[in-house]
A and B are shown apart, each in its own frame.
Chain A
Amino acid sequence: MTFDSAFFFIFFLSTLAVYHVISSWDYRKVVLLVSSYFFYTIWNPPYVLILLFSTIFSWVIGNKLTRTGNGQERKILLILGLVGTLGLLAFFKYSAFLLDNLIQTLSLIGISYQPPILDLLLPIGISFYTFQALSYILDCYRRTQVAPVSLTDFALYVSFFPQLVAGPIVRTNEFLPQCRSLRIVTYSHLGWGGALLIIGLFMKVVLADAFLAPVVDKVYGSYLSISGIDAWVAVFAYSGQIYFDFAGYSTCAIGVAMCFGFGLPDNFRYPYASIGFSDFWRRWHISLSRWIRDYLYFSVGGNKKGRSKEYRNLFMTMLIAGLWHGASWLFVLWGGLHGIYLVLEHWLKKSFNGRIAALPIPSFFLIGLTFFIVTLTWIPFRSPDVFVAVNMLASLFDTEVVSITDRLERIEVISIIVLLFIWQLYMRNRYVEHVVERRHWVLRAIALSVLVVSILLVEGEGSRAYIYFQF
C-alpha cells in the first residue's frame, strides 16, 4: 500500500477518524499500532513476523541494558542485540549477494560450487526498521536512553506506518518522548499535515513518475546506442526523479504523521543547493546520515584519532552507507565515490587551512559543481548493471548517434531540473513553513488546488513503486 493509492486514502481517513473519535491516549496508540501492523501485513502477511521478532527482540535487549550495570553483561547484551537485528537484515538482504560473490570467487580458482538458489523476497522496509530497532539498543547501551519503555510505545516507534517502509529513520529520543502524553492535534496539524501530504504526492506522482521517470526508463533501458544528448538528459532526469521520489515520500510521511500529532525529523533540506559534499550529506537523507554518523562514524573514532584514520573512517562509513542501499557492487561504488569526495573535501579544507574559503569563488559555482558531481554519481546507483553504467558514462561524450528522446521531452526535463535547481537555491537557508506562512491564505489554497488537480489527473499514468521501497 503506497501513499499514492486509492486504498491508502481510505485506510488513512478511516484510521484518522477512529483515532480522533477515541479520547484515551493509550487506546489511540493501540489504534495506531494495529493500523501500522495492518499496513505492513497487507504487503506480505508472513513477513510481519520478522517485524514482530525484530521489535520484541530489541525491546527485550534494550530494556535489559537499562536495568543492568555490569559492564561485561552489557557488552554481551550489545553483541547479542547487534547479531540478532543485523543478522536478520544480512540474511534477507545480503545472503544472495554474498553467496553469488562466493560462487564467483571460487570459480576463479577453479572450484565449481552450486548451492541451492536462495529465492528470498526482501521484506519491505527492513533496512529502515532494523536501524530504528538498533538505535534503541545502542542508545540503551550508551545510556542516552535510561528508562525502559512499554512494549506498546516501542512497537509503535518501530512500526509507525507513515515512516515504516521508507523512513525517515526516527531516533528513540525523537519519537518515544512523544508517546508519553496525549498528542494535541489542532486544525493547523491537520491543515499543514494534509498540505505536506499533497506536496509530497505532487513530487512523486507528477514530477517523478509522469515527467522524469519515462525519459529515464527509456534511455537507461534502451537496447540501442545512446546519444550524448539523451545520456545527459537521462542523467539529470534521474537526479530529479530520485529527489522527487524519495523527498516526496518523506514529505508525505511527515505530513501523515502530523495529522496524528506526531513529529518526524526532516529528511531533506534542499540537497541540490549544497556547497560541497559534507553539506550535501547534511541535506540528503538526513535521518540516515545522522544515524550513520552517530552510531558508526563516531563509534570507530570519527575524526578524533588523526587525519589518516579520519579519512579511513569517512571512506568506510560511506562504503557501508552505499551497501545499506542494496546488495550490489554498484551501490558500493556509489558509496565509495561519495567517500572519496568527502575525503578530498576534508583534506582540502585541512591542508589549506581556511585559505580556500578566502578564495573569491562564488558560492553559486560551488553549488553548481556539487550538484553536477552528485548528478553524475547517480549513474551507478541507477544502472541495473556495470555494462549499462559504463555505456551511459561513455555515451555522455557521444556526438553521433540519433536521439531516442524527442524535443519536448528534453525541454520538459531541462525545465524541471532548472526550476528545481533555482527553487533549491532560493530555499537553501529558508524553511518552506515560513514561506507558506507569509503567503495570503487564498494564494496558499490556489497553489494547493493546482497540486491536487494535477495529482488527480496524472495519477496512475506510468505509476511506479517508490525507489526507496527496495532498500
Chain B
Amino acid sequence: MPISISNSSTRRPTQFWLRTWVFVCALSGFSFIGWEFFNVANSLWRTGTNDSERLWAEKRIEASQLGTAGIVLIGASRIQLGIDTLLLQKMTGQKVIQLAIDGNPYISVLEDLATDESILGTIIVSTTVNGLLNSQNQKNRASQYLNYYHSISTHLFRFDTVEAKLTAILRRYFRSRSNFVTPYKWALWPKDRLAQAGYLKFNSDRSVEANYSLVDVGKMYSDRVKRHLGEESEAVYRSIPKFEDNIKHVNTLLTKIMSRGGRVVFVRFPTDKQIWEIDDTRYPKKLYWDKFAQLSIARTVHFGDYPSLSGFNLPDGSHLDQSDKKEFTRELSNILFNCGKNYLSIDEDGTPCDLIR
C-alpha cells in the first residue's frame, strides 16, 4: 500500500538529515550570494523584472486607493513604453499607476474600473480603433489578471499587498531577485538572444523601457509588420458592423466614471511607417477614429492631429525607444494637462494639475 503514513513509513530516508540541511543552507547561501555579486558586477540586473498577475493586482489595489488626485494608465504595450510614469507624476503632482497589459485588450479593465466606486481620478486610455471592439473577448491575460485581482482583493490584511511588500523588500536588497537573467539563461542562451530578450526592461512600477540599440531593428521591424498583417498578404479595408454600438458601450462605462467625478481621456499613441499604413488602411482614421472622437463623451487625442506627438521615430514602427520616452511624456502632458508647459510638479497653491477637458 503506497501510503506514506509518515511515522510508520519504512520509505522515509532517515539518515544524516541535520548535516544535509546544514550543507544545503551553506551551499545555497554561498551560491546565491556569489550570483548576486556576479550579477551586480556585470549589471545583469538592468534587464529588469517580469510582469505577473500578482504585481498587476497590487497596482490595481493601489489604484482604488488613489482618490481624486491620481492617474491610472490603461492600454497595452504602447503606453507602457511611451509614458515615463515618474515624470508624469512629477509634472502633474498626481500619483500615477500603470495598469496596461502588454498585448491585451483593455476594455475589460475599463469595465472593472467603471464598476469600482473608489476610482475617482483620471484614467488615460491608450487605444486604437481596433481596441474599442474587444469587449467580448474575455479569455485573455487581462481577464486572467482581473480574475486574480478579484480573487485576492477580499483577502484579510490584504494578503497580496503584504506578499507584494515582502517581494519588494527582497528585490530591493537582492538584485538577482528582480532579474530577468538567471544563471541558466546567462550560461545557455545565445548572447544575441539574451540581448534581444533584454532589450525590454520591465520596471517595478510596470512601465517598460525599450532599448532598440540592443537589437537588429531591421529584422524586428519586418517581423512586426508580418505580425501586424497576420494572415493577409496586404492590408485591406475592414468594415466594422455596429461600430457605434461599441462606442455606446464605452460611453456607458465613461458615464459611470464621470458621474462620480472621474475623468477619462483616450489617446491614440503613435505608429509609423508600414504599421500606420496598415492601421489606416484597415480602419481609416476619418471613418472610425473621427467618428469615435465625435461620439465619445470623453476627450480623445490622436497623435496624427498633433505634430508634437507625430514626429517621433519608432524603431519597430509601433513603439517608442527609451530615449524618446521623456520627451513624449512631456509633449503628451502638455496636451492633456493645464500645467504641463512649466513642467511643475505641483501648482503654487499645492493643487495637482488638472486634465484639460
Q: Which residues does A use to contact B, with CB under 8 Å?
A: 1, 5-7, 10, 41-46, 121, 124, 174, 178, 183-184, 186-194, 217, 221, 224-225, 254, 257-258, 261-266, 269, 384-385, 388, 402, 406, 408, 431, 433-434, 436-437, 441-442, 444-446, 448-449, 452-454, 456-465
Contact = CB atoms under 8 A, between A and B. Distances in A.
B179 A457 contact: yes
A190 B179 CA distance: 31
Most buried by A among B6, B15, B156: B6
B20 A42 contact: no
B150 A460 contact: no
A254 B20 CA distance: 20
Nearest to A217: B141
Contacts of A5: 163
Interface stretch (B47-55, B233-241, B285-293, B309-317): B47-55
Interface in B14-59: 14-21, 23-24, 27-28, 31-32, 35, 49-54
B9 A1 contact: no
B13 A453 contact: no
B231 to A, nearest CB: 6
Given A6-B166, A187-B18, A453-B32, A434 B11 contact: yes
A178 B3 CA distance: 13
Contacts of B193: 406, 408
A431 to B, nearest CB: 5
B167 A44 contact: no
A263 B4 CA distance: 6
B2 A266 contact: yes
A460 B17 contact: no
A384 B141 CA distance: 12
Interface string B223-234: 000110011000
A433 B21 contact: no
Contacts of A269: 2
Nearest to B8: A263
Contacts of B155: 42-44
B23 A442 contact: yes
A221 B7 CA distance: 46
Q: How large is the interface on B (under 10, 10 to 19, 20 to 34, 35 or more residues)?
A: 35 or more
B136 to A, nearest CB: 12
Contacts of A217: 141
A464 B53 contact: yes
12 contacts: A1-B163, A6-B163, A6-B167, A41-B156, A42-B157, A44-B155, A188-B14, A436-B13, A437-B15, A445-B20, A445-B24, A453-B31
Given A225-B231, A449-B31, A452-B28, A192 B17 contact: yes
A441 B139 contact: no
Contacts of A45: 154, 156
Contacts of B152: 43
A464 B32 CA distance: 23
B27 A385 contact: no
Nearest to B139: A384
B54 A463 contact: yes
B281 interface: no
Contacts of B227: 224
Q: Does more than half of chain B's interface fall in helix, strand or loop, or is it mixed?
A: helix
A1 B5 CA distance: 26
Most buried by A among B3, B21, B35: B3
B6 to A, nearest CB: 4
B140 interface: yes
B70 to A, nearest CB: 26
A24 to B, nearest CB: 18
Contacts of B183: 453, 457
A462 B52 contact: yes
A434 B10 CA distance: 9
Contact of A261 (B7, B49, B50, B148): B7
Nearest to A283: B2
A185 B177 CA distance: 34
Given A43-B155, A192-B13, A456-B32, A254 B4 contact: yes
B170 interface: yes
Contacts of A461: 50, 52, 180, 182
Given A41-B156, A452-B24, A174 B17 contact: no
Contacts of A433: 9, 11-13
B295 interface: no
Given A7-B159, A224-B230, A464-B53, A191 B17 contact: yes
Interface of B: 2-9, 11-21, 23-24, 27-28, 31-32, 35, 49-54, 139-141, 148, 150-152, 154-157, 159, 162-163, 166-167, 170, 176-177, 179-180, 182-184, 189-190, 193, 226-227, 230-231
A457 B20 CA distance: 21
Contacts of A385: 139
Given A388-B139, A441-B20, A445-B27, A460 B167 contact: yes
B110 to A, nearest CB: 19
Contacts of A264: 4
Nearest to A402: B226
B24 A188 contact: no
A264 B12 CA distance: 13
Contact of B141 (A188, A221, A402, A436): A221
Given A269-B2, A445-B20, A189 B12 contact: yes
B12 A188 contact: yes
A263 B35 contact: no
Contacts of B5: 174, 178, 263
User: Ordered nearest first, which 3 A-B pairs have the shortest CB separation?
Assistant: A191-B17, A263-B5, A263-B6
Contacts of B35: 453, 457
Given A189-B12, A465-B148, A42 B156 contact: yes
Contacts of A265: 3-4
A92 to B, nearest CB: 14
Given A174-B5, A224-B230, A263-B6, A457 B13 contact: no
B275 to A, nearest CB: 16
A464 B3 CA distance: 29
Given A262-B6, A437-B14, A442-B23, 20 more contacts: A42-B156, A43-B155, A121-B154, A183-B7, A187-B17, A191-B13, A263-B8, A264-B4, A266-B4, A269-B2, A431-B2, A433-B13, A434-B11, A441-B19, A445-B21, A445-B27, A452-B24, A453-B35, A460-B167, A465-B148
B12 A192 contact: yes
B159 A446 contact: no
Nearest to A178: B5
Contacts of A457: 32, 35, 176-177, 179, 182-183
A6 B165 CA distance: 10
A293 B216 CA distance: 58
B224 to A, nearest CB: 13
